[in-house]
Amino acid sequence: MEFALTDVQSARDMYQVLQSMAQSHGVTLRAPPPEPTSCCGRGCNGCVWEGYYAAALYWRDEALLLLSDFKSP
């Protein structure tokens, strides 16, 4: 299952889909990473959003690993 993270809404959608899948299988996932609140908007190297998307991808990988025992019909 692929989830492209292109913006904050795509990350929110991914969290919702994976949390719904987990709930339907009785699996508890940890909370997704919080969205940054301190971005200055200047496109800095090492922007807080870069760290957020890296954390979101890690969360996705962890969630998919926990759900890997459950196959979709």
pLDDT, one tens digit per residue, over 33-65 is: 999 999 998 988 889 999 999 999 999 999 999
Contact in structure between 56 and 10 (CB atoms under 8 Å): no
pTM: 0.86
Domain positions in the chain are 8-36+44-67
Average pLDDT, the chain: 91
Contact in structure between 6 and 56 (CB atoms under 8 Å): no
Q: How far is CA 57 from the centre of its chain?
A: 6
Angle ∠(58,14,30) on CA atoms, nearest 5: 50
pLDDT band at 69 (very low <50, low <70, confident <90, very high): confident
pLDDT, one tens digit per residue, over 4-33 is: 788 999 999 999 999 999 999 999 999 999
Contact in structure between 14 and 5 (CB atoms under 8 Å): yes
